[in-house]
Amino acid sequence: MTMQKAIVKMLQGNEACVYGALYAGVEFFAGYPITPSTEIAEGMARELPRRGGKFIQMEDEIGSIAAVIGAANAGCKAMTATSGPGFSLMQENIGYAYMTETPCVIINVQRGGPSTGLPTKIAQSDTMQARWGTHGDYTAIAVAPSSARECFSETVRAFNLSERFRTPVIVLTDEVLGHMREIMTIPQAGELRVVDRVRPDVPHEWYRHFEITPSFVSPMASFGEGYRYNVSGLTHDQDGFPTAIPEEIKTKLDKLRLKIERYIDEITSFRTEMMDDAHVAVISYGSVARAAYQAVRMARERRIKVGAIQPFTIWPLGEIRLRELLIPIKKVIVAELNMGQLVHEIRRVAPRHTEVFSLNRYDGEVMTPHQILDKIREVL
């Protein structure tokens, strides 16, 4: 047996997203460059044509996500990457992707807002937008890496989840993560799981594009394969035709929710650090999680019993598992680079005896370990 030599690379978070997407089998990228996400488009423009894929720079973000949805319906694994106002522009069509159950991946490298805000500075102020960005009722999936290695693996996971559940998946990173370079070993083929959408195995005339199955996920035929169906943003029946029948409307919306909620344990994932004997916990994601781990290390040197929890899946958060983690915790600090978004969700989920504190920074700078350490001391 020959061992393949491990490839070790210094990669920016954004570059790691590119290689992760390629590993997952991305075939199509449409985008409009915007700081601090541009390196993803650059990498895709370089790598995709070489591998027989397609890269297209569209006229704007609305066109970009539209092209991605088209490509995904034609059978491709498709994605885009954006930041700040670009993510806002995409929202209506992301809703179209939820409704038409189109698998695709949207990477949002977060910067400060609202509006054009801070193109070159970090924020996590799109946390709620990743959940509630488009109008209507739906259940969103958003994942959040905190290192170059995780940018790679979470992008792979985003594609897997989107294909598995026929839904758009958002990858939430940030400016610092996107631009920092970090050493990582590129996973070899077969090391990470790669999931492809389920295709129909029935005769053309039996096929229903939005069929209610026991898992609530419908097999997906590509355009041009001979299957007949309708794709519409209007609330539709199992064949995709608009409906006004209350029963069918409810069935459709329940399908969008249940296909994700029923598999929440499969979707959510956490990293915990020093939680075994902790009375205080810090919850954070993305770049802030790195500062939190450092702060925990520093606090432990001072014999403070504190731990850290990092959700890799921000939406859905996985409230049952999270509540279990918080049972022995008296005080929990939610550290985030916004005016307090994830903290509302933690307040909802935390056991009654757990006091929830909010630690916020929104001046374009990354949270420092000392800031978190100070907060830990303050709440003790």
Partner 1 sequence: MNAAGGKEQKGKKSKGIQVDSDRYEIRLSGSGGQGLILAGVILAEGLGIGDGKNVVQTQSYGPEARGGASRADVVVSEREIHYPKTMKLDMLLAMTQEACDKYYPDMKESGVLIIDSTLVTQVPTKRYYGLPFTRLAREEIGIVMVANVIALGAIAELTGIVSREAIRDAVLARAPRGTEEKNKQALELGFSEAKKLKRT
- The CA angle 21-283-280, to the nearest 5 degrees, is 150
Q: Which of residues 11-50 bind partner 1 (CB under 8 A)?
A: 36
Q: Which of residues 91-130 bind partner 1 (CB under 8 A)?
A: 119-121
Closest to 121 (Cα-Cα) out of 35, 208, 207, 11:
35
Contact with partner 1 (CB under 8 A): which of 175, 237, 336, 345? 175
65 versus 335: smaller Cβ distance to partner 1: 335
Q: Check if the beta carbon of residue 99 is closer than 8 Å to that of residue 235.
A: yes
- In angstroms, give the least distance from the CB of 35 to partner 1: 8
To which residue do tokens 């077969």 refer? 190
- In angstroms, give the least distance from the CB of 2 to partner 1: 22
- In angstroms, give the least distance from the CB of 285 to partner 1: 14
Q: Check if the beta carbon of residue 123 is closer than 8 Å to that of residue 286.
A: no
Q: Using the rule CB under 8 A, is 368 a contact of partner 1? A: yes
Q: Using the rule CB under 8 A, is 300 a contact of partner 1? A: no
8 versus 320: smaller Cβ distance to partner 1: 8
Q: Rounded to an integer, what distance in angstroms lies between the CA atom of residue 267 and that of residue 212?
A: 21
Binding mask 258-287 for partner 1 (x = CB under 8 A): -----------------------------x
Q: Rounded to an integer, what distance in angstroms lies between the CA atom of residue 319 and that of residue 298?
A: 28
- The CA angle 105-36-11, to the nearest 5 degrees, is 80
Q: Using the rule CB under 8 A, is 299 a contact of partner 1? A: no
- The CA angle 240-241-245, to the nearest 5 degrees, is 115
DSSP state of 200: P
Q: Which stretch binds partner 1 (CB under 8 A): 14-22, 54-62, 172-180, 350-358?
A: 172-180
List the beta strands (DSSP E) in 92-148: 104-112, 118-122, 141-143
- In angstroms, give the least distance from the CB of 15 to partner 1: 12
Closest to 58 (Cα-Cα) out of 76, 75, 44:
44
Q: Using the rule CB under 8 A, is 166 a contact of partner 1? A: no
Contact with partner 1 (CB under 8 A): which of 370, 377, 378, 380? 370
DSSP state of 75: T
Q: Using the rule CB under 8 A, is 371 a contact of partner 1? A: no
Question: Where on the chain is the footprint of partner 1 (CB under 8 A)?
Answer: 8-10, 36, 119-121, 175-176, 179-183, 287, 290-291, 293-294, 297, 366, 368-370
